[in-house]
């Protein structure tokens, strides 16, 4: 392991711990236009994502639920990153993050694309936790694509690839 790897690992742990202890956007969005629920049976992580789309921009986004540190930190990082973005950019980011999580830091994803989310690449070292980290992203994708009625029970997001 090189020094860079160690630094990345420290940063990864620091950011994950900080975000899980103090999650950003941990709330239900009022007057949400889109929502979805996600559940990761492997770990027991569950979350409800709500967002408000206005003029094709994600104006507000929040999540509630309970899960492990990685699932919370990932949802926290995701909601922070997506606020103010267009849905199509959010879905591009989804693909980039999924690549990062499954392929690790060597993934061909430019730092510009993922920004701070690059810390999530540390999760790739722990294959058991990858689904914890992707849960929020799958749920976000479902919310954007499904546009579930707020408060309604849409199809729960699955962390299984179909």
**C-alpha to C-alpha distance for 8 and 6, rounded to whole angstroms:** 5
Pick from 39, 30, 19: which is nearest to 60 by CA? 30
The residue count for binding Zn ion (CB under 5 A) is 5
Q: Closest CB to Zn ion among 36 and 58?
A: 36
Q: Closest CB to Zn ion among 38 and 87?
A: 38
Q: Closest CB to Zn ion among 90 and 136?
A: 136
Rule CB under 5 A: is residue 132 a binding residue for Zn ion? yes
Chain positions 48 to 87 lying near Zn ion, rule: CB under 5 A, are: 68, 71
Strands 45-54 and 157-158 come out as: unpaired
Q: Which stretch binds Zn ion (CB under 5 A): 18-26, 29-37, 75-83, 125-133?
A: 125-133
CA 57-36-90 angle, 5° bins: 35
Q: What is the strand order of the sheet 157-158 is part of?
A: 57-66, 45-54, 34-40, 157-158
In angstroms, what is the minimal distance from the CB of 20 to Zn ion? Answer: 10
Pick from 118, 144, 146: which is nearest to 133 by CA? 118
What is the full DSSP assignment across 9-32?
HHHHHHHHHHHHHS-TT-SPPTT-
Q: Closest CB to Zn ion among 43 and 64?
A: 43
Q: Closest CB to Zn ion among 96 and 133?
A: 133
Over the window 19 to 48, marking each residue x when it contacts Zn ion by CB under 5 A and - when it does not, the resulting string is ------------------------x-x---
Q: Which positions touch Zn ion (CB under 5 A)?
A: 43, 45, 68, 71, 132
């Amino acid at each position: 392991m090189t020094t860079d790897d160690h630094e990345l690992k420290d940063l990864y742990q620091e950011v994950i711990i900080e975000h899980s202890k103090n999650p950003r956007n941990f709330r239900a969005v009022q007057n949400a236009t889109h929502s979805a629920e996600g559940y990761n049976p492997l770990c027991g992580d569950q979350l409800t994502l709500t967002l408000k789309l206005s003029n094709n921009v994600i104006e507000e986004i929040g999540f509630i639920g309970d899960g492990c540190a990685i699932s919370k930190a990932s949802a926290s990082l995701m909601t922070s990153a997506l606020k103010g973005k267009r849905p199509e950019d959010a879905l591009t980011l989804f693909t980039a993050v999924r690549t990062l999580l499954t392929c690790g830091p060597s993934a061909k994803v430019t730092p510009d694309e993922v920004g701070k989310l690059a810390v999530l690449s540390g999760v790739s070292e722990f294959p058991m936790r990858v689904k914890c980290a992707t849960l929020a992203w799958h749920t976000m994708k479902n919310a954007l694509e499904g546009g579930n009625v707020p408060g309604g029970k849409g199809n729960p997001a699955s962390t299984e690839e179909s």
